[in-house]
Amino acid sequence: MSNTNASLFERGQAVIPGGVNSPVRAFGSVGGTPYFVERADGPFVYDVEGRRYIDYVQSYGPSILGHAHPDVIAAIRDAATRGTSYGAPTENEVRIAEEMTSRVEGLEMMRLVSSGTEAAMSAIRLARGATGRSKILKFAGNYHGHTDSLLVAGGSGIAQQGLKGSEGVTAGAIEDTIVAPYNVVPEIDESIAVVCVEPIAANMGLVPPAPGFLEGLREACDAAGAMLLFDEVITGFRLCRGGAAEWFGVQPDVWCFGKVIGGGLPMGAYGASREIMSNVAPLGGVYQAGTLSGNPLATAAGLAALEHLTVEAYAALTERATRLQEGMQAAFDTAGVAAVLPRVGPLLGIFFTDTAPHDFDSAKAAADNGVYPRFFHGMLDRGIALAPGAYEAIFPSLAHGDEEIEATIAACAEVAATL
Ligand SMILES: *Cc1c(COP(=O)(O)O)cnc(C)c1O
């Protein structure tokens, strides 16, 4: 008997918590049975039942060129034939660091790790080591991966499950974490090592920074001698070549990256100025390591992806996001459905409310009002795969052509009429 989504979900739930390896995938907040992917190609994913979906999950960002891009696949194939992991340095690790540091102003040195979580965790350790201070400040609704100290008031799946943080995190692990509301410059004193921020919040839906917010953080950090960390795991190499620092004209002290830079393979990175990165072992006393760090398949895939990410590519991605934004907004307006689609360049989000949220509380009110699950299933029934949760962004890729964008807007108009 051939597989169905339901049969795989049932088998999966017997041996994997929730049947999935990352909570959001279980469809808990939208209900129903997750589709199990059989393969993906360009803008499409195909499930095990042979259904095709226009995919706006795109692995939550990494597949910016679309799925199975021929150049990325060729690079991975070529790398794999030469071995899959060495535990010794390679040219491609140097090349990707050269490429990334050449694009991001102020980023002079970096380390490759295997996920965004690891990048954020390592960047925090670096900031604490370099400043000799303990406290970190994060913003409610921002997500920095699942490190203990950063899970409090996290966005993404934590928010979807209605959790304030996570069980299993000790009071000690979070006693040095201060949580502040997004888009308000908090008081920063000399006990704070680092202020962590998503320069565009993309894990509580999409919430752009208010004018002056990032500038205010920069000033407040400078005044207190604290470091400013931009978590660019989503925005990095998706927003524009140089990331949020280029877009907003505000430079952090420390960056972390992930998602896009691995070309769909597991990779993250953190970096800073040469001076700050000199605290990292073997140059300094901040230890960080990884058996699979700088993995040859991941660096090959990442380099192949970055090669396509030109100024023209970002313009093309922005054009797609803009058409989706305008087309879907018009569809909702026609149907009399209260909806806003915040957009910053190629980054797009959706909220079923009248006014765009500016922080976690307003984002939660909009995300949890019950409309998104109905919209999600209406779209899925029409062959459009959005993220199975209202706290995620919409990710068009460079493989989404006119036909897919038009089909998405047409489906949106049909669904809007039913809401
Ligand atoms: C996805 C994400 C992370 C965590 O990355 P993983 O690769 O899932 O560990 C961290 N920060 C932000 C902003 C993210 O969107």
- pLDDT digits 0-9 by tens, 307-332: 999 999 999 999 999 999 999 999 99
Q: Taking residues 365-377, what's their average pLDDT?
A: 96
Which of 276, 308, 340 terminates a domain? The answer is 308
Confidence of residue 158 (pLDDT cuts 50, 70, 90): confident
What CATH number did the domain enclosing 395 receive? 3.90.1150.10
235 lines ligand 1 (CB under 6 A): no
- Do 216 and 314 fall into the same domain? no
Q: With a cut of 80, say whether residue 160 has pLDDT above it.
A: no
Site of tokens 């994997």: 16
Which of 308, 336, 353 terminates a domain? The answer is 308
Closest CA to ligand 1's atom 6 = 116
29 Cβ partners below 8 Å, 6+ apart?
A: 160, 161, 373, 388, 389, 390
Which residues on adjacent β-strands are paired with residue 301?
none
Q: Are 26 and 18 in contact (CB under 8 A)?
A: yes
Tokens linked to 58: 């795109």
pLDDT of residue 136: 97
Which of 277, 308, 339 terminates a domain? The answer is 308
- Do 96 and 162 fall into the same domain? yes
Q: With a cut of 90, say whether residue 334 has pLDDT above it.
A: yes
Confidence of residue 162 (pLDDT cuts 50, 70, 90): confident
- Do 124 and 91 fall into the same domain? yes
Catalogue the active-site residues: 143, 231, 259
Q: Taking residues 195-199, what's their average pLDDT?
A: 98
pLDDT of residue 153: 81
144 lines ligand 1 (CB under 6 A): yes
pLDDT of residue 11: 97
pLDDT of residue 198: 98
Confidence of residue 152 (pLDDT cuts 50, 70, 90): confident
31-45, 169-183, 199-213, 397-411: the lowest-pLDDT one: 169-183
Q: Which atom of ligand 1 is nearest to the CA of 60?
A: 1
- Do 326 and 178 fall into the same domain? no
- Do 27 and 113 fall into the same domain? no
Q: Taking residues 333-356, what's their average pLDDT?
A: 98
- Do 194 and 325 fall into the same domain? no
- Do 87 and 203 fall into the same domain? yes
Q: Which of 121, 156, 203 to mutate to test the pocket of ligand 1 (most atoms within 8 A of CB)?
A: 203
Q: With a cut of 90, say whether residue 170 has pLDDT above it.
A: no
208 lines ligand 1 (CB under 6 A): no
Q: Which atom of ligand 1 is nearest to the CA of 259?
A: 7
- Do 220 and 84 fall into the same domain? yes
Q: Which atom of ligand 1 is nearest to the CA of 142?
A: 13
99 CA → ligand 1 middle, Å: 21
Give the whole-angstrom CA distance, residue 271 versus residue 69: 28
Confidence of residue 5 (pLDDT cuts 50, 70, 90): very high
**SS3 assignment for the chain:** CCCCHHHHHHHHHHHCHHHCCCHHHHCCCCCCCCCCEEEEEECEEEECCCCEEEECCHHHCCCCCCECCHHHHHHHHHHHHCCCCCCCCCHHHHHHHHHHHHHCCCCCEEEEECCHHHHHHHHHHHHHHHHCCCEEEEECCCCCCCCHHHCCCCCHHHHHCCCCCCCCCCHHHHCCEEEECCCCCCCCCCCEEEEEECCCECCCCCECCCCCHHHHHHHHHHHHCCEEEEECCCCCCCCCCCHHHHHHCCCCCEEEECHHHHCCCCCEEEEECHHHHCCECCCCCECCCCCCCCCHHHHHHHHHHHHHCCHHHHHHHHHHHHHHHHHHHHHHHHHCCCCECCEECCEECCECCCCCCCCHHHHHHHHCCCHHHHHHHHHHHCCEECCCCCCCCECCCCCCCHHHHHHHHHHHHHHHHHC
Q: Which atom of ligand 1 is nearest to the CA of 145?
A: 4
- Residue 161: CA atoms inside 13 Å, Cβ hemisphere, count? 16
64 CA → ligand 1 middle, Å: 15
Q: Are 224 and 189 in contact (CB under 8 A)?
A: yes
145 lines ligand 1 (CB under 6 A): yes
pLDDT of residue 157: 78
Summarised one tens digit per residue, pLDDT across range 206-252 is 999 999 999 999 999 999 999 999 999 999 999 999 999 999 999 99
69 lines ligand 1 (CB under 6 A): no
Q: With a cut of 70, say whether residue 73 has pLDDT above it.
A: yes
pLDDT of residue 184: 98
Q: With a cut of 90, say whether residue 171 has pLDDT above it.
A: no
Q: Taking residues 174-198, what's their average pLDDT?
A: 96
213 CA → ligand 1 middle, Å: 22
- Do 293 and 320 fall into the same domain? no
115 lines ligand 1 (CB under 6 A): yes
Q: With b meaning 16 or more CB within 10 Å and e meaning fewer, what string describes 25-54?
A: bbbbbbeeebbbbeebebbbbbbbeeeebb
**Where in the sequence is the domain holding 291, given as residue range(s)?**
70-308
Compute φ and ψ for 393, nearest 5 degrees.
Answer: -85, 170
410 CA → ligand 1 middle, Å: 32
What is the number of structural domains in the chain? 2
- Do 74 and 51 fall into the same domain? no
What CATH number did the domain enclosing 288 receive? 3.40.640.10
9 CA → ligand 1 middle, Å: 25
119-123, 168-172, 372-376: the lowest-pLDDT one: 168-172
Confidence of residue 391 (pLDDT cuts 50, 70, 90): very high
Q: Which of 149, 151, 233, 265 to mutate to test the pocket of ligand 1 (most atoms within 8 A of CB)?
A: 233
Q: With a cut of 80, say whether residue 1 has pLDDT above it.
A: no
pTM: 0.97
pLDDT of residue 66: 98
Confidence of residue 79 (pLDDT cuts 50, 70, 90): very high
- Do 202 and 177 fall into the same domain? yes
42 Cβ partners below 8 Å, 6+ apart?
A: 66, 67, 68, 69, 397, 399
Share above pLDDT 70 across residues of the chain, in percent, rounded to a whole number: 100
Q: Which atom of ligand 1 is nearest to the CA of 115?
A: 7
Closest CA to ligand 1's atom 8 = 116
- Do 263 and 188 fall into the same domain? yes
Summarised one tens digit per residue, pLDDT across range 82-118 is 999 999 999 999 999 999 999 999 999 999 999 999 9
